[in-house]
Structure 1
Amino acid sequence: MSSEHMQIGEVAARTELSLRTIRHYEETGLVIPSARSQGGFRLYTESDVARLMVIRRMKPLGFSLDEMRELLAATDRLDSGDPLPADERTLLLERVGGFEEAAQRRVADLRTQLARAEEFAATLHERLTRIPAS
């Protein structure tokens, strides 16, 4: 095995994803191992880990598997090194920009939810400190 390849356990540790989750992403076509060992074990590269990290970061923002697939396809095409017609490049950049805007909105929504949750927890704490000891 090449030192540039990692087995699924190392990838799971580095990405903080479970083996089951990584296998699920493989089954859905989001991440395909770059190689297989002679024994049939999945082998991943740094590029595969980076792809899994994109997916991991999209998940808590509520992006669907199809949305993840769409973003990854757009970034794969942009990063391919192949010359792109100007109109295709513009379309791909707009698509990625749309995801960036959606991510920013979802982050703002999560911040609002977190602030409300913190207010609630503080209210409960304050209430508990006002209850006389028995």
Structure 2
Amino acid sequence: MAEQQQMQIGEVAERTSLSLRTIRHYEEVGLVIPSARSKGGFRLYTEADVERLLVIRRMKPLDFSLDEMRDLLEITDRLAADQPPVGEELALLRERLDAYREATEVRCGKLRGQLLAAEDFAATLRARLGA
């Protein structure tokens, strides 16, 4: 198996558009754990770590709490495990995942409504400037 490319935190921050401080915070609260450390003690991340951070970043504007993020990541980790769940455990995980999907759709709808209101306000300001 080929060795995975490892990145330092600065490259990960650039790729995810997250600050170093935010990435370190997510590590402190257990949402992401660097895959390795260099001999000098620097955090090293893999592509899978970057993908995990991107999931977290996408959840943030939808106002998911850290606990909800942690729960969702645990669900997806379990579903993607080398020995995936079966039977009742699989059904329960899929049910929980579907609840997050539903919550996401509701929250996206709310954001779309807020965006429409903001665009309407911007149009009102443009019209007043033109008057």
Task: Give me the TM-score of the superposition, normalised by structure 1.
Answer: 0.93
Partner of 2:18: 17
2:53 matches 1:90: no
2:54 matches 1:53: yes
Hey, what's the Cα distance between the residues in 1 that align with 2:51 and 2:68? 17
Partner of 1:26: 27
Deviates more, 1:108-117 or 1:83-92: 83-92
Hey, what's the Cα distance between the residues in 2 that align with 1:83 and 1:114? 39
Aligned structure 1 segments of 4 or more residues deviating by more than 6 angstroms: none
How many residue pairs get matched? 129
Q: Which runs of 5+ in 1 are unaligned?
A: none
Partner of 2:82: 81
Identity %: 65
- Higher Rg of the two aligned structures: 1
Partner of 1:67: 68
CA contact (8 A) 2:78 2:84 kept: no
Do the aligned partners of residues 125 and 54 (structure 1) sit closer, same or farther apart at CA in structure 2, a change above 3 Å counting? same
Hey, what's the Cα distance between the residues in 1 that align with 2:85 and 2:112? 38
- What RMSD, in angstroms, separates the aligned Cα atoms of the two structures? 1.1
Hey, what's the Cα distance between the residues in 1 that align with 2:50 and 2:94? 23
Output one character per residue of 1:74-94: Cα deviation in whole Å (capped at 9) or x when no partner: 000000021423100010011
CA shift, 1:127, in A, is 1.2
Hey, what's the Cα distance between the residues in 2 that align with 1:128 and 1:114? 21
